[in-house]
Structure 1
Amino acid sequence: MAHGRPTKRRDMFPAAFILPPLVWQASFFITPLVFLVWMSFWRVKNFRLTRDFVTANWERIYNAGFFYDAYVHTFTLATVNALVVSVLAFPAAYFLAFRAGPKVRQLAIVFLVTPFFTSYLVRIYSLQIILAEHGIINSALGLVGLGPITMLSTSFATVVGFLTLTLPLVILVQLLALSQVDKRLMEAASNLGVPPFEAVFKVVIPSAKVGLIMAGTFGFLLSFGDYVSPLFLGGSKPPTLSILIADQVKSGNNWPRASVVAVTMVVTLVAVLLLMTSLAYAKRGKK
């Protein structure tokens, strides 16, 4: 009996560290999500929320063509951003992981972290100056007799905003994944006469598959729910789901319909996260 109590205390010690994150998730994610689902069945009467249990909000949103247009547009933009940011981030992450020295790597990490200490909204406003019809890019093009090119209020500008948001994070996640790759595998491939470019696809990418897939997934998740870039760079035309939520709230204070859109977004994000996680660990699980 005397030896049993210390063992129980040691077993409960890790639980003391697990409990706070669980409480946090339950308080600020699960509980609001449950309330959001519940609110989607309320109704608006005389511009005031009324507690009820009706399915009219789900029927109205799911039977509306503008909802499916916004959903496809949002999903497409997020997918494009995930692919583009993954491709753009990989050379930088590869250089930092395999070619750069420790000091260069540390300095690069500082520069990659710095954007997270600045306002995302301010960065988007600065992009307006760069992408505007009389902005920096078009002014430079005008010097060589080109332009102006319309970039603001387009899907291109929205994706540029998404890249501003996600590129530093994706590079850091890819760098972490590539840093775990055994460099002896690269040396063995070189000794066997495998060209460096081919070794990247046959050795590096398969070895860092989990981290690379999750990095791209983060790029999708962050851009799928973003509101700032579609509004200030994309011009809300066509609207994304985040803008659609704001429109539903502004239109007659219709929080229940906005809740339907929000719940749909959350379900989509969770489904994509589970799908990509299973894809990342697929082969490892089989082994």
Structure 2
Amino acid sequence: MSTTPEPRPNIYALTWRLPIIFWQLVFFVGPVLFMVAMSFFLVKNYRMTEAFEFVNWGRMLTRGFFWDSYWYTVFIATVSTVCAMCIAFPAAFALAFRASESTRRWAIFLLIIPFFTSYLVRTFSWFVILSESGVVNAILGYVGLGPYTMLNTNFGTLVGYMTLTLPLVVILQTVTMANIDKNLIEAARNLGCSPLRTIWQVIIPLAKTGLIIAAIFCFILSFGDFVAPFYLGGSQEPTLPILILDTTKSGQQWPRAAVVAIMMMLTLFAIAFTGIALAYRKGKGAK
């Protein structure tokens, strides 16, 4: 009887993978494991001491202020994601199906340009625009409206989130829809589909993977952002990143802040894996 030899590991491929594995271990896995361990430490006389106690977990997870911040962060990040996806879709649709190849390239380049500037600088620029004596209220004043308070509100927070995520969402949606086979769209129109029905039953299913990935990126960036809710939202309702800052300032409670950070990571992992599973799930009848 002949036995099939076991495949040998590809040393060449493994060699090229080692830098990525090493990078992940040093800069991701290592810090995460340390943060998990730190969540069991105790703070005595403003100094952390090694221990294995669940005091910090019990302290944070049984407090109403933590869950208020948690659900508010989930809510505002979800609203931001829905708004970004809805605002970006018409622009991405026009770039993918109405604009020429050259125009699309220039549009994507212009959408990348905001990332050349610090996000903090772009956020502070909204103070001039959204303040009660700012540009928006000045324009509204000409038609007899306002002034409206837009800073230190949920609206200000959402504007900051849009500043961070909207260009990226437009780019991802554009690239996704630009790769759709145009013959399928023409076939749908020849079969009598209206434009809206074509978008709903042809374009969106074909672009499902890219659209979900764009939504995941938007939610992750919004969920973990500190700048927008702190500076534009005024931290009236603290999000989890703001809660981490407040916790570290309160008696150097880094272990309790680690609990908040771990809960954020678990939430994001759950959202990301669920979204990716939906993005790559095959429809009924697909092989």
Distance 1:177 1:14 in 2: 30
Amino acid of the residue matched to residue 43 of structure 1? L
**1:3 corresponds to:** none
Give a deviation string over 1:175-203, Cα, whole Å, max 9, x none.
Answer: 12112211110111122221222211111
Distance 2:164 2:61 in 1: 30
**2:27 corresponds to:** 28
1:99 CA drift (Å): 1.2
**1:40 corresponds to:** 39
**1:143 corresponds to:** 142
SS of the residue 2:282 aligns to: helix
**1:192 corresponds to:** 191
Q: Report the number of matched residues.
A: 280
Distance 1:79 1:22 in 2: 32
1:8 CA drift (Å): 6.6
Distance 1:30 1:241 in 2: 22
SS of the residue 1:282 aligns to: coil
1:48 CA drift (Å): 1.0
Amino acid of the residue matched to residue 132 of structure 1? S
**2:156 corresponds to:** 157
**2:170 corresponds to:** 171
Name the CA shift for 1:92/1:61 in 2 (closer, same or farther; >3 Å). same
Amino acid of the residue matched to residue 208 of structure 1? A
Distance 1:97 1:121 in 2: 31
SS of the residue 1:167 aligns to: helix
1:17 CA drift (Å): 3.2
TM normalised by structure 1 equals 0.94
Distance 1:78 1:21 in 2: 30
**1:270 corresponds to:** 269
Distance 1:206 1:22 in 2: 35
Which protein is richer in helix relative to its size? 1
SS of the residue 2:51 aligns to: coil
Distance 2:141 2:242 in 1: 34
Amino acid of the residue matched to residue 82 of structure 2? L
**1:73 corresponds to:** 72
SS of the residue 1:79 aligns to: helix
1:27 CA drift (Å): 1.2
Matches within 5 A, 1:125-136: 125-136=124-135
TM normalised by structure 2 equals 0.94
Name the CA shift for 1:96/1:273 in 2 (closer, same or farther; >3 Å). same
1:139 CA drift (Å): 1.3
Q: Which runs of 5+ in 1 are unaligned?
A: 1-6
Give a deviation string over 1:13-37, Cα, whole Å, max 9, x none.
Answer: 3333333222211111111000000
SS of the residue 1:210 aligns to: helix
Distance 1:42 1:167 in 2: 39
More displaced 10-residue stretch of structure 1: 117-126 or 23-32:
23-32
Give a deviation string over 1:222-259, Cα, whole Å, max 9, x none.
Answer: 00000000100000111000000000011111100000
Matches within 5 A, 1:231-250: 231-250=230-249
Name the CA shift for 1:19/1:284 in 2 (closer, same or farther; >3 Å). farther
Give a deviation string over 1:83-139, Cα, whole Å, max 9, x none.
Answer: 111111111111111111121111101111111111000000001111111111111
Percent identity, aligned pairs only, is: 50
**2:87 corresponds to:** 88
SS of the residue 1:173 aligns to: helix
Amino acid of the residue matched to residue 196 of structure 1? P
SS of the residue 1:222 aligns to: helix
Q: Which runs of 5+ in 2 are unaligned?
A: 1-6
**1:99 corresponds to:** 98
Name the CA shift for 1:250/1:215 in 2 (closer, same or farther; >3 Å). same
